[in-house]
Amino acid sequence: MASFVDSPQVFFTSESVTEGHPDKMCDQISDAVLDALLTEDPLSRVACETATTTGMVLVFGEISTAGWVDVPKIVRDTICEIGYTRAKYGFDAETCNVSVSLKAQSADIAMGVDDALEHREGDQDRYAHQGAGDQGMMIGFACDETEELMPLPISLAHKICRRLAEVRKQGLLDFLRPDGKAQVTVEYRYGRPHRIEAVVVSAQHDAEIPHRDIEERLIENVVRTVLPIDLVDDRTQFLINPTGRFVIGGPMGDAGLTGRKIIVDTYGGMARHGGGAFSGKDPTKVDRSAAYYARFAAKNLVAAGLARRLEIQVSYAIGRAQPLAIMVETFGTGRVDDQVILDLIHRHFDFRPAAIIENLRLQRPIYKPTASYGHFGRSDIDAPWESIELAERLREDSGVREMVPVG
């Protein structure tokens, strides 16, 4: 079977969801709690989960901190910002029930994080003291098909969902409600985007507006404002609210849970995923911090011109600082051998948790904005893992003459 980059025609699809999707509501609440705790105590250990259904929110998990925050207020403020302020929208921030069940982090886990195996064995390096908070494998990915070095399908799906929120909050399309989804299918030829095959948008709306009006106004004011005009042709399909009606939405239409949109959060399925979710976790959890650092490494390597597509896998054992293994895959697009790239990673990137936290400045309240519209490819939020500050150095060290221009 031909690989993706060797295939004359491949259709690839990614989806995103709006901030009012019930799962994304939960992600934002969990990260809002995390940010509030990091503001009070940057050393807070947080594993905060959220669940929601009709009329209620449950916040639960493990937290160890020297600070204190008003969790029910954070929940209501977050829901209000999303736009669920009336029961007829599917949820009301003021009247919903909020239940909180939080306990301290397990002492067994804390022991491995606070005193890594290497430190116990005598390693006095400044980054040897802190171990990984769990076992697991994390993925970082970058490709050169968009300015932000992200796959085009997920990039466009995020932009459509963001635009849905913008026109709703600005009152341009006042019939819209907070819940919604977008899905984009791109036709690739030999690994490069060729055209847009299909766009699907499902947007919660007022009960009184006719479907035809919704369809026409969303295509004009949302979809066509986002799509690259040169990739749209007369065969591109636009499917707007395909069932014909989407009035019941939010937690009234479907239950929500933190961490159920991990593919939306990352690369839209274009890269593999280690399985761990991000939201609600402080940076000692390598599920989050190592995935961010793997993206940082992959993006810098692609920006340096060393490959058009690049995926990094890093794996950890709980209580150990050094990763167990690092793997690189360039899918046949590398300008140097994969082993050269792996050697560059070992020389220029320190994947020990304490080093990641320091280098990316992760013990700060920067997480709530990541909980909608993706954690990667963002220039609108404080996301230090999106910097390409090491690209020039990597290019020079590799011997490659040219960098990839990045917007």
Catalytic residue among 177, 261, 299, 308: 261
Active-site residue, 285 included: yes
Active-site residue, 41 included: no
Catalytic residue among 40, 115, 148, 254: 254
Active-site residue, 260 included: yes
Catalytic residue among 15, 287, 329, 350: 287
What are the distances in angstroms from CA 395 to CA 195, 303, 333, 403?
31, 9, 16, 7
Catalytic residue among 12, 15, 19, 21: 21
Catalytic residue among 12, 91, 246, 376: 246
Active-site residue, 115 included: no
SS3 114: helix
Active-site residue, 23 included: yes
Active-site residue, 21 included: yes
Catalytic residue among 198, 255, 273, 331: 255
Catalytic residue among 24, 158, 205, 395: 24
Active-site residue, 217 included: no
Dist. CA 182–CA 160, nearest whole Å: 6
Catalytic residue among 158, 162, 163, 281: 281
Question: What angle (nearest 5°) sits at the alpha carbon of residue 188, between those of residues 185 and 192?
Answer: 125
Active-site residue, 159 included: no
CB of 33 within 8 A of CB of 72? no
CB of 160 within 8 A of CB of 343? no
Q: Can you read off the two tokens belonging to residue 250?
A: 């939010």
Active-site residue, 174 included: no
Catalytic residue among 76, 205, 260, 395: 260
Catalytic residue among 181, 288, 299, 375: 181
Catalytic residue among 23, 187, 282, 350: 23
Active-site residue, 368 included: no
Catalytic residue among 40, 62, 114, 343: 62
Catalytic residue among 15, 19, 31, 49: 49
Active-site residue, 181 included: yes
Helices (H), 186-308: 211-218, 224-226, 250-253, 262-265, 286-303
Dist. CA 296–CA 389, nearest whole Å: 10
Catalytic residue among 285, 352, 375, 395: 285
CB of 37 within 8 A of CB of 65? yes
Active-site residue, 238 included: no
Active-site residue, 70 included: no
Q: Indicate the helix (H) or strand (E) that contains 119.
A: helix 117-120
CB of 345 within 8 A of CB of 334? no
Active-site residue, 281 included: yes
Catalytic residues: 21, 23-24, 49, 62, 181, 246, 254-255, 260-261, 281, 285, 287
